Amino acid sequence: MSTSIFSKTASTSNYERMTGNCTRIVAAEMVRIKSPSITSSSYVLDNACGPGIVTEQVKLLHPETKILATDLSPSMIEEVQKRTENDKWTNVKTDTLDVRDLSKLADNTFTHVLTNMGIYVPNDPNFALQAIKEMYRILRIGGAAVTSMWADRVWLSAFSKTAMMIRPHEEPSNMLRMDPEVLRGSWLLKQIEDGGFGNNAEVRPFATSVSATSLEELVENMMVAAPLLLKGYDEEELSRVKPILKEELTKLRTYEALEGGAVRIGMKSWIGVGWKKGDEKEVPL
């Protein structure tokens, strides 16, 4: 999908640099779902899998678990296939599928559908609902869909401030901006409820962070987003970005310098769970 920053053109190493572990930390929490827990006899869909971050986290806990990893981007799927080979994962299959249309997958198939940061794209207000309806359909009774979403992406404001220092009379890019409404936990809960899970839905906050081994590395990693956020800047302007960005990152409210030179920027996410129990159509009184 062309509107996402994680489109076919984004290489996976860029993905790892830009995310700086922030989706991995959320994935590690999602796979620890307690009811029902993931076991070696589960069948998991890693939906909008990217380079296979959720798959990796499941495999760390349960190497035998059967997983289907799907994404719309063929380059992401290639990346999962490479990791499957390199890490000698067993029971992992892949497919290039759209979260909004999983019609290749039969009803009542999976024990768990995990979708880490994969239910939102800008300019498509029905994206999340379509995706959740599909998750509900393909889950077995007794299964659960675990879905995450951002509550904030603190680092983006360092880019906006940098842009304003360089081009003070221009609005910074809104390429990656999300409607504040979709960053609310209540938005995610509504998608899960309305997507078919009804009263069998729950959302909670979860803290994560983007990190790097040094501030310099963090700046370099963040520069991966420069073509999107600083589009059209000339060479002279671009040459001023790094030192300003470096300073703006250190001013962020969640910026932390850790022992040994590593740095991180705290971020907040939401983790939602929908359980398919079979009683979702009951009207609450």
Binding site for ligand SAM (CB under 6 A): 1, 4, 6, 23, 27, 48-50, 53-54, 71-73, 76, 98-100, 116-118, 121
Query: Which C-beta is closer to ligand SAM: that of 48 or that of 271?
Result: 48
Distance CA 139, CA 141 (A): 6
DSSP state of 225: G
Rounded to a whole number of angstroms, the minimum distance from the CB of residue 116 to ligand SAM is: 3
Rounded to a whole number of angstroms, the minimum distance from the CB of residue 168 to ligand SAM is: 31
Query: Which C-beta is closer to ligand SAM: that of 61 or that of 238?
Result: 61
Max CA-CA distance within the chain? Answer: 64
* Three-state secondary-structure class, residue 199: coil
Query: Which C-beta is closer to ligand SAM: that of 54 or that of 139?
Result: 54
* Cβ atoms < 10 Å from Cβ of 18: 19
Rounded to a whole number of angstroms, the minimum distance from the CB of residue 233 to ligand SAM is: 25
Distance CA 203, CA 197 (A): 12
- Written as six digits, the tokens of 225 are 């987003």
Query: Which C-beta is closer to ligand SAM: that of 72 or that of 144?
Result: 72
* Termini Cα distance of the chain: 41
Rounded to a whole number of angstroms, the minimum distance from the CB of residue 173 to ligand SAM is: 18
